Chains A and B, each alone.
Chain A
Amino acid sequence: MLLTGGTAALQAGTEAGSQSGAGAFVPFLPGLVVLLPLIGFVINGVLALLHARASAVAVRNGGELDLDGPGGRPLTHTLPTWVGPGVVGLAFLITLVNFVRMLGVHLEEPVVRTYWTWIDTGTFHVAAALQLDQLSMVMMLVVTGVSFLIHVFSVGYMGDDPAYPRYFAYLNLFVFFMLTLVMASSYALMFVGWEGVGLCSYLLIGFWFTDREKADAGKKAFVVNRIGDFGFLVAMFLLFSRFHTLDFVPVFHGAAAGLAYGGGLITAITLFFFLGATGKSAQIPLYIWLPDAMAGPTPVSALIHAATMVTAGVYMVARSSVLYALSPVGSATVAGVGALTAFFAATIALKQYDIKKVLAYSTVSQLGYMFVGVGVGAYAAGIFHLMTHAFFKGLLFLGAGAIIHSMHHALHHTHSHADAQDMRNMGGLRKYMPITWIVMWVATLAISGVWPFAGFFSKDEIIWQAGAFGGAAHAPYPRLYTFYWILALAAALLTAFYMTRLMVMTFHGPNRTGTEESRHLRETPAVMWIPLVTLAALSLFGGWINVPEKLHQSFLGLFGALPMGEWMHHWLEPVTAAAQQIQATHLGAVSESAPFGGGEVLWGVVSFLLAVAVIAFAWRMVGSRKYVPAEESPADTGFARVLNRKWYVDELYDTIVVRPLKSTSRFCWKVIDAGVIDGIVNGLGYLARGLGWFGSLFQTGTVNTYALILSLGVLVILGVVIF
C-alpha cells in the first residue's frame, strides 16, 4: 500500500516534470552537470599518468623533471589549467540554465531523471537517477559555483607543484562525486557520492603523501569517516526494512503514514543517519579528523573541508527533513550536538596559532550552527547558512591560502624553516597584501555576524529559530532548546573574538616574518585574487536573499528595500513543506519571542551590537599583546594551554578508544589469530598429511593387499545387506 502510494506519487512527479505544457520544468542536460567533472577527471588523470611517467624517466636518467626548462612547461602541466576549471565552469553554466528554468515555474514535485538500472535484485531496486528540485538546485549552484572559483584559485596556488595534473584530477573527481551526492534520487546513490567525496578527501588530504604526517592525516579522516558511514548504512537498512525502497520520493511520501511519530524505528533511523552526518560533517564526537585534514593543499581545505563536502551532512538532514520532523528525539539530538559543537569548537579556535587550524575549528563550529538550524526544523535557515558559509569560509580559506602562498615564497627566498602557517610569524601583512586584507575583513565581518554581511542574516536566523522553537506550544524539551540557544549565542560571540584575533595577528601590528623575508612578501596574482573578490562580494550580498520577514520590514532590512526577503525560505518550501506540516501538527506554532522575551528584531540588534562590541574588545586585547615569532614564543600555560591543546580530546580518544583497540587487536593477532586460528588451519594441514601417510601404508603395490581390502569392503556391504 505504502509502496504503491509512493510509486504513484513518483509517477505523478515524473509526469509533472515531463509535461511539455506551459509551466512545466524541463531540465537542461542534468546528466551533463555530473558527467563534465568526470570527463575532466579522466583527461586530467591521463595527463597525470603521462606526467608521472615522464618524471620517472627523468629520474631514471639521473635528473629531475624540470618544469621551467628551456622548452617551456610540458603540455601535461599546462592543459589541466584549462581542463580542470573549464569543466566545472561549464557545469556551473548548465546549472545556471537549469536554475533559471526552475525559477520560471512553480515545481511542487521533484523531477527525477532515470538513466539506467543500477541494482535490480529481488525486491531491491535502485536506479541511477538524478533528482532535480529546489534543494538540489541550491546545492548544485553552491557546489559548482564555489568549486569553479576555487579551481581558478588553484591554478595560481598549485601552479608550481610538480603533481599539478594529479591535483586537478582529484579535484574534478571530487566535484563529480559531490554532484552525485546532491543530485542523487535515492539514499543508495547518495551514498555513492557520500563515499566518493570521502575518497577524494582522503586523496587530497594526503596529496603530498611523501610527508608521513600528511598521509596519516588522510588516513585519520578516512577511518573516522568510516564510523559515520556505518551509521549511514544501518539507517539505510532500517529504512529499507520498512519501505522496501531507498528512493527519496516514495520514502518521503510514505513516511508520515508508515512510521509512528516519535516511534522507535524513526528515532533509530534518524539517529543513525545523524551518526553518518557527524562523521562527514565533523561534529562531536567525530570532528577530530577535520583539523588534521588541513594537511592538504589550502584550496582543498576551502573546497572540501569548508564549503562543500563537510556540509553534506547538513544537506542530508535537510533532504530527510520529513524523517527528522517525525522524530523529536532525533531532531533534538541533531540540534544539541550542533549547538555543543558550535560552542566547543569555537573555544578551541580561541587559542590556535596555525591560521588554518583556527579556520578548521571555525568550520566545525559553523557546521554546528547548520545542524542547530536543521535540528530545530528551520531547514531553509540551515541550508541558507550552508550557502553563506560556503561563500565566506571558502573566502577565508582561500585568503589564508593566499597568505600562506606569499609566506612560503618569502621564507623560501631566505631558506628559512619557520612555519609559514603560524600566525605568530605573520603580522602587518596588510602592507604587502592589501586586496587579501580587505576581502578577509569582509569574510570576518560576515562570519562574525555583522550587519549587513551574509553571516548576520543566516546565523541570526538560526539562533532565533533555536530560541523560538523551544517556545513552541508543544515543544518536546523547551528547557533544552533554551540551553541550545544560549550555547549558540555564546558561540557567536566567540566566533567574533577568534576571527578578530586571527585578523589582528595576521594583518595588523608589526611584521614578525623577519626583515629579509618581509621584502619578498607579495600580493597574489590576479588568478588568485579575482576569486577572492568574487567570494567577498557574495559574502557581502549573499545574505540578502533570505532576510527574515520581520527583519526585512524593519530598519535592519532597510524597511523592505533589500530586494529578496525570505526568498530562500519560499524557494525551498516545496521541499520542506511536508516536514513543516508535521511539525506544525505535533508541536504547534513556534514562539514569537526569544526564551527571555524580546522579538526577532530586538535580538537581531542585540546580536549585532554584541558582535561589534566583541570585535572591538578583541581588537584592543589582541592588538595590545606583544607577539613574538613562533620559535621564540614561550609555551602557553594554564587554561590557554588546555585550549591550545584542544581540550586534550585527541589524547582522550587515544586513551579510551585507540589504545584499547590496539591492545585488543594485538590480543586478537597474537593469541586468537596466530594461536588459535593458525593453529586450527595448520593442524588441519598436519591432520591431512598424517591421514595421507596412514592411508599410504595400505598402498603396498601388492595385489593381495588390495584384494584383502576389497574383501573387507565386500564384508562390510554384505554385513549391511544381511543385518
Chain B
Amino acid sequence: MVDILFYIFAAVAIGSALGVVMSRNPVGSLLFMVATLASLAGIFVLLEAHFLAAVQVIVYAGAIMVLFLFVIMLLNLGHDYQKDLKWGAFSVLSFIVVGTLAGFLARALGAGSTGDVMSSAGGRSIDAAVSEFGAVGAIARPLFTTYVVPFEITGILLLVAIVGALVLAKRNV
C-alpha cells in the first residue's frame, strides 16, 4: 500500500516537474510546480516526516508559489506565450550534460542499495521522538536546543531578505 502510494506520488512529481520545464504558459508552469510540491509533501508523509510535509504544503505550495503567481500577474506575464524553448546546438548540449548528470547520480545513488533501510537506527530514533514529543516536538526540540544559533541567524536572514526585497522592488528608493 505504502509502496503503491509512493510510486503514484513519484510519477506525479516527475510528470509535473517535466510540465514545469516544458509548459509554455508561466501560469501553467506554476501550477505544475504546485502539483510537484504537493506530491513531494505526500512522499514526506510516507517517509514519516509529517511536520515537514505540512510545512511543504503551507509554506512552499501555499506562500512561495502564491508569491510567484503574484509576480507573474503583476508583470502581466500570464499571456506571455513567447517561445523561449528553442531547439539548437545549445539545447542538444544541455540535454547531453543533463543526461550525463542523471547517469552519474543514478550510479552514485544506486550503488550500495541493499534492501530497505526504513527501520535503521536513525529511523527508529525519529519514530521514538515522534511517539514521545509528537511530530512537531520531535523536530522542535533539536531546533531550539542544538541548532538554536543557526535558527536565530535564519530569522535575521529572513528579515534581511524582506528589507532587500522591499528596497529592490520599490519604485523610487
Contacts and interface: CB of A to CB of B under 8 A. Distances in A.
Contact, chains A and B (beta carbon distance below 8 A) = yes
Interface of A: 704-705, 708, 711-712, 714-715, 718-719, 721-722
A718 B101 contact: yes
Given A704-B90, A708-B90, A708-B94, A715 B107 contact: no
A704 B97 CA distance: 13
A5 B108 CA distance: 74
B101 A722 contact: no
B18 to A, nearest CB: 18
B106 to A, nearest CB: 11
Contacts of A715: 97, 100-101, 104
B111 to A, nearest CB: 8
A475 to B, nearest CB: 90
Nearest to A718: B104
A704 B90 CA distance: 9
A711 B98 contact: yes
A719 B90 contact: no
B2 interface: no
B93 A708 contact: yes
A586 B54 CA distance: 109
B108 A718 contact: yes
Nearest to B100: A715
Interface of B, secondary structure class, is helix
A708 B108 contact: no
Interface in B78-108: 90, 93-94, 97-98, 100-101, 104-105, 107-108
B85 to A, nearest CB: 12
A708 B104 contact: no
Contact of B104 (A704, A705, A722): A722
Contacts, number: 25
A714 B101 contact: yes
Interface of B: 90, 93-94, 97-98, 100-101, 104-105, 107-108
A718 B98 CA distance: 13
Contacts of B97: 708, 711-712, 715
A712 to B, nearest CB: 6
Contacts of A722: 104, 107-108
B34 to A, nearest CB: 24
13 contacts: A704-B90, A705-B90, A708-B90, A708-B97, A711-B101, A714-B101, A715-B97, A715-B101, A718-B101, A718-B105, A718-B108, A719-B104, A721-B108
A718 to B, nearest CB: 5
Contacts of A719: 104
Contacts of B93: 708
A636 to B, nearest CB: 90
A475 B94 CA distance: 94
A700 to B, nearest CB: 10
A708 B90 CA distance: 9
A719 B97 CA distance: 12
A131 B97 CA distance: 81
A715 B107 CA distance: 13
A168 B100 CA distance: 85
Nearest to A700: B90
A712 B96 CA distance: 10
Contacts of B108: 718, 721-722
Contacts of A708: 90, 93-94, 97
B73 to A, nearest CB: 24
Given A711-B97, A718-B105, A719-B104, 18 more contacts: A704-B90, A704-B94, A705-B90, A708-B90, A708-B93, A708-B97, A711-B98, A712-B97, A714-B101, A715-B97, A715-B100, A715-B101, A715-B104, A718-B101, A718-B104, A722-B104, A722-B107, A722-B108
Contacts of B100: 715
